[in-house]
Amino acid sequence: MKKIMIDLDDTITTGGYLDIVNKYLNTNLTYENINNQYWVDNIIPKEKLTKYLNYLYNEINFYDYIKINDNAINVIENLSKYYEIFICSAYVDKRDLKNCANLIIHKYNWLRENLPFINPDNFIFTSSKNILKTDIKIDDRLSNLKENADLKLLITAYHNKNISENELKENNVIRVNNWNEIANILLKN
Ligand SMILES: [Mg+2]
C-alpha cells in the first residue's frame, strides 16, 4: 500500500486565524490581498501580541473557528481504502514556545472526531515534514514539499496563489485547487 502524508491546516481545513483575529481585534478583515501565511504578525500590534498568543493558545480552541474544505473528508475516507494515510501537522510557534503545544490536543481531538477512519498512530505532529518519506505528500506550503515524496501536490490556499507554475515545476510539484482534483489524480483507476 502506498503511503500519503496529508497536512491539516489550510489543506483539509481552511481559515481559523482570520476569524480569531477579527474577533480579538474587533475588525472585519478579509482574505483579499492577503497572500502571506505570516500575515497575522503584521496585523496584531506588537504590544498586543503576547496577550493575543495567550488568548490563541490558552483560551480558545483554534478548531472551533475553522471550516472543512469541500469534500476533503469524503475524499480522504476513499483514499484510505487504497492508501495508508498519515496526517502531519505542525504546532510549534516560535513566538510562544511555552503555550503552543496546547494546539496538539486540539489537533488530536479534531482529527479523532472528523477522521475516525484514520489510525491515531498515523497522526504526526512536527514542523520537520521534509525528513519524512512517503510516496505522496499533500500540503499548502511549498516548503513542506521539498523532499522525500514521488508525487507532491500543493493545494491552493490564500497564501500560495502567487507561486508561479515555473517554481512549482522546478520543485516537481503539481498544483491542485480542491479535493475533487486530488481525487481525480489519486483515485482515477
Ligand atoms: Mg498547512
Question: How far apart, in whole angstroms, are the C-alpha atoms of residue 141 and residue 153?
Answer: 10
- Centroid of ligand 1 to alpha carbon of 8 (angstroms): 6
What is the pLDDT, as a whole number, of residue 184? 97
Residues 169 and 121 in one domain: yes
pLDDT of 124 above 70: yes
Residues 165 and 113 in one domain: yes
What is the pLDDT, as a whole number, of residue 114? 98
Q: Which of 8-17, 29-38, 91-100 has the lowest mean pLDDT?
A: 29-38
- Centroid of ligand 1 to alpha carbon of 187 (angstroms): 22
- Centroid of ligand 1 to alpha carbon of 88 (angstroms): 9
- Centroid of ligand 1 to alpha carbon of 135 (angstroms): 19
Instruction: Pick the more confident residue, 1 or 42.
Output: 1
Q: Say which DSSP state 145 is in.
A: G
pLDDT of 189 above 80: no
Residues 37 and 6 in one domain: no
pLDDT of 47 above 80: yes
- Centroid of ligand 1 to alpha carbon of 11 (angstroms): 6
Sequence letter at residue 27: T
Residues 22 and 54 in one domain: yes
- Centroid of ligand 1 to alpha carbon of 45 (angstroms): 24
> Cβ neighbours of residue 116 under 8 Å, at least 6 residues apart?
none
Q: How many domains does the chain have?
A: 2
- Centroid of ligand 1 to alpha carbon of 7 (angstroms): 5
Which pLDDT band holds residue 46 (cuts at 50, 70, 90)? confident
Average pLDDT, integer, range 59-68: 96
- Centroid of ligand 1 to alpha carbon of 63 (angstroms): 13
Residues 23 and 93 in one domain: no
Residue found by looking up cell 500590534 in the block: 45
What is the pLDDT, as a whole number, of residue 34? 66
- Centroid of ligand 1 to alpha carbon of 110 (angstroms): 15
pLDDT of 95 above 80: yes
Question: How far apart, in whole angstroms, are the C-alpha atoms of residue 8 and residue 154?
Answer: 13
Q: Say which DSSP state 35 is in.
A: -
Range of the domain at 81: 2-14+69-186
**pTM of the full structure:** 0.94
Q: Compute the radius of gyration of the chain from its Cα atoms.
A: 17
pLDDT digits (tens, 9 = 90+) for 144-178: 999 999 999 999 998 899 999 999 999 999 999 99
- Centroid of ligand 1 to alpha carbon of 139 (angstroms): 6
> Considering the chain, what is the average pLDDT of its residues?
93
Residues 74 and 133 in one domain: yes
With CA atoms as reference, report the closest residue to 99 among 142, 152, 56: 56
- Centroid of ligand 1 to alpha carbon of 116 (angstroms): 20
